Structure 1
Amino acid sequence: MQQELETAIPDEIFVDEAAARRYLLKFCWKNHQRFCPRCRSRRNYRLNNGRRRCARCRYTFHDFSGRWINNCNLSCTQWLRLVQLFETETTARTASKELGISYNTAYKAMSTLRFAIVAHALDARQLLGPNSPLGLSLNGRAFQSPSATEEKQVTPVFGIMDRGTWAFVDLIPGFDLETLLHFSLSFQLKTVRLGNVIYTDRYQRYDTLICCVGNDPAADYFRVGPHGLPIDENNPGFWHYVSSRLTKFHGVTPQRFPLYLKELELRYNSRHKDLFPLLTGFLCDFAPEID
């Protein structure tokens, strides 16, 4: 349930757990009306332990059940502080120090935010699910990120379109690193490699095609930068916004690269908005049921 609150953000939500919880619940339950996350029935009752039970399907739940925020075991104040740090593009390592949590927990929490962003994208169905390039699987609505050994060795390719007010990052079905190599060798599609990122000259309606390479030996055939394509010249729009951040993507796997691209798409398209309530709304929304 995405809900942007127009009132000023009170400072107390970052230090007072009760105030933080009240703030988050405004995004979770419209008019404080609880319903069952499983069957959507509004007939439920409170148990002695503070949880609720659905009178229709007997499902037991709490206020954050089935929502992205239910991951990572962070307190409400920690989540809101993390959203604040994420808004300013703080790294997971710095966030872990600021919040006094482990790096792995901070990284998982920021990944959860990125998955929540993807879940609200127009092409979410293409990107989420056990057979998607991200490999995200859900047990019911429980977030399960695949381990490094389980991740599929795929290299998804995205097309970037800048239409002035809006920018779009589209997954190109059927394209992978071998496709870009074929276009480069057979059709002289100009490409540039910067670290583990490869991007191309204009292709059909797209300003550029882009992907992240891992240990694929085919990546060795691509010319290493510097920037040298027409898209790099005098382009103050979305590509400048993206390319200026590519150097921060060291260590990002091909499977996780789309998370960062879709994050940048959201940031750019929301550049005139307050990101904090927008991100908080995404975090408090239900994780989609994906088979």
Structure 2
Amino acid sequence: MKNKYLKGAHLSERKFKEILRLFADDLTATQIANISGVSRVTINSYLKKLRGQIARYCETLHPVSIPVAALFEREDSRLDQDDDTLVAVQSDVDKAVRPVIFGIVKIADRLHTELLPDVSRSMIHAATRGRSVLEKINTTERLRNYSGVVDLGQYRLYRLSSKPTDASGTPQMDEVDAFWGLTKHRLAKFKGLNRNTAYLHLKECEFRFNYRGDDLFTVLLEMLKSYPLTLS
């Protein structure tokens, strides 16, 4: 069946566009399946591939030092888990589990995120306190590139740059705060976060935030013309 947005699909282009519009409206996989009449298993498969393509697209705009989209997809493919039912990562409870940490940086008029698998909580705490001990492991300079760092295990944003202030010197909310607010709200609806899908959901939040003033459905269609999905 011909579908220029989804190669190898047994789904009409019209039906795929319906699913894509529901995704653009930020509905859950269950809601999309109920409205579209397509099975939940199929919807989950499409959404995972779509999020993977969004992640790759975001990486073309801001190449990351460790491109981990494919890594997370490979790890997740080994798990028999529902992509829309995520398991909480409680690293502050289980000390053996490495926390999921990412940095936020603003370049021009866009925010970009990057997972920091080699950064620990102790490094973040030291950096926010201005301790120089991190110089020994070459982490301080790297962290200074970010406006903020988020520990998803604790759902906490650490500011690494000063917030803007008004005329009276009172700190004001900026785009970093706005992005974290949106991301925290979106991820909370999953009631936790699976480590293996964290990157894809994070990049989806980045994509939605950077195109928040646009018609997301149209943006997705344009993206998929250049980066069509494949079922192989």
Mark yes or no: TM-score above 0.5.
Answer: yes
Tell whether the 8 Å contact from 2:183 to 2:205 is kept in structure 1 after alignment.
no
Kindly tell me the number of residue pairs found equivalent between the two proteins.
187
Between the aligned residues of both structures, percent identity stands at: 17
Tell whether the 8 Å contact from 1:158 to 1:209 is kept in structure 2 after alignment.
yes
In 1: Cα distance, 2:223 partner to 2:179 partner: 23
> Which residue of structure 2 aligns with residue 257 of structure 1?
198
CA displacement, residues 13-34 of structure 1 (integer Å, 9 cap, x when unaligned): xxxxx9xx5xx54xx6xxxxxx
1:120 match: secondary structure = helix
1:80 to 17, 29, 35: 17
In 1: Cα distance, 2:213 partner to 2:182 partner: 19
Tell whether the 8 Å contact from 2:147 to 2:176 is kept in structure 1 after alignment.
no
> Which residue of structure 1 aligns with residue 223 of structure 2?
282
> Which residue of structure 2 aligns with residue 243 of structure 1?
181
> Which residue of structure 2 aligns with residue 58 of structure 1?
none
In 2: Cα distance, 1:255 partner to 1:170 partner: 15
Residue 156 (structure 1) shift: 4.7
2:192 match: secondary structure = coil
Residue 256 (structure 1) shift: 0.9
> Which residue of structure 2 aligns with residue 64 of structure 1?
7
In 1: Cα distance, 2:180 partner to 2:127 partner: 24
Cα RMSD between the aligned structures? 3.7
| Cα distance change on mapping 1:89 and 1:209 into 2, 3 Å | same
Bigger RCO (CA 8 Å, 6+ sep): 2
Residue 211 (structure 1) shift: 4.2
Tell whether the 8 Å contact from 1:119 to 1:287 is kept in structure 2 after alignment.
no
TM-score normalised by structure 1 residue count: 0.52
Q: Structure 2 regions of 5+ residues with no counterpart? A: 82-96, 130-142, 164-170
AA matched with 2:180: V
1:96 match: secondary structure = helix
> Which residue of structure 1 aligns with residue 103 of structure 2?
159
Q: Aligned ranges for residues 2-17 of structure 1 at < 5 Å?
A: none
| Cα distance change on mapping 1:168 and 1:184 into 2, 3 Å | closer
1:111 match: secondary structure = helix
| Cα distance change on mapping 1:182 and 1:245 into 2, 3 Å | closer
Tell whether the 8 Å contact from 1:96 to 1:102 is kept in structure 2 after alignment.
yes
Q: Structure 1 regions of 5+ residues with no counterpart? A: 1-17, 29-62, 138-144, 191-202, 214-221
Pair 1:147-2:78 in alignment:
yes
* Larger Rg computed on CA atoms: 1
2:45 to 108, 114, 120: 108
In 2: Cα distance, 1:112 partner to 1:228 partner: 31
